[in-house]
Copies of this chain bind each other. A is one copy, B any other.
């Protein structure tokens, strides 16, 4: 659980995170669990071929619509020539790796803060294997998704190896993207007309 240590509570910032703000959020959620309900959103528009563009801005969380963003985030998916594109952007399965890397990292850093552990450096390298026979419908026994994703995590921190290993196991178990990938999450698609 976030925030057990008195040392952490007394510092202002650990790992670039505002410790008091984190504890305020935790305490608010503990007293009203509905504040933990978040809904994230994206809108995407097809451009041509394997190119499409997402806009991301609003979300719901902590009991209200968030209004902190003045502009949309805009992200472009593309494909390399071997997949019929011109490298207009990273492709969707690469963006998934970016999401996974970021989520494991942020979850690690957040729970390090909660334990009063100062992180000095943290980097990851990800590899994901995929058999395109799945996407192409050439073999129904092949899953179209990633077969496996491997993350190599290099962290330097002011604590023991044992504490780092424990923290990593905890981050893996509590990362939202990691748990969206390693557990089955329902995706419901319906056609609508504007």
Q: Which residues of A contact B (CB under 8 A)?
A: 1-2, 15-18, 21-22, 25-26, 29-30, 33, 36-52, 54, 56, 59, 61-62, 66, 68-69, 73, 75, 77, 79-84, 87, 89-107, 109-111, 119, 121-139, 142-155, 164-165, 168, 170, 172-194
Contact = CB atoms under 8 A, between A and B. Distances in A.
B54 A176 contact: no
A149 B144 CA distance: 18
A109 B50 contact: yes
Nearest to A189: B151
Contacts of A15: 48-49
Contact of A92 (B66, B103, B109, B132): B103
Chain A interface secondary structure, helix, strand, loop or mixed? mixed
A91 B38 CA distance: 13
Contacts of A137: 1-2, 111, 170, 174
A47 to B, nearest CB: 8
B16 A185 contact: no
Nearest to A190: B152
B41 A185 contact: no
A128 B37 CA distance: 11
A48 to B, nearest CB: 3
A182 B182 contact: no
A18 B56 contact: no
B100 A143 contact: no
A100 to B, nearest CB: 7
Given A38-B129, A54-B102, 10 more contacts: A17-B84, A38-B132, A44-B123, A61-B83, A92-B98, A136-B174, A149-B186, A150-B187, A154-B192, A164-B191
Given A44-B124, A176-B135, A153 B102 contact: no
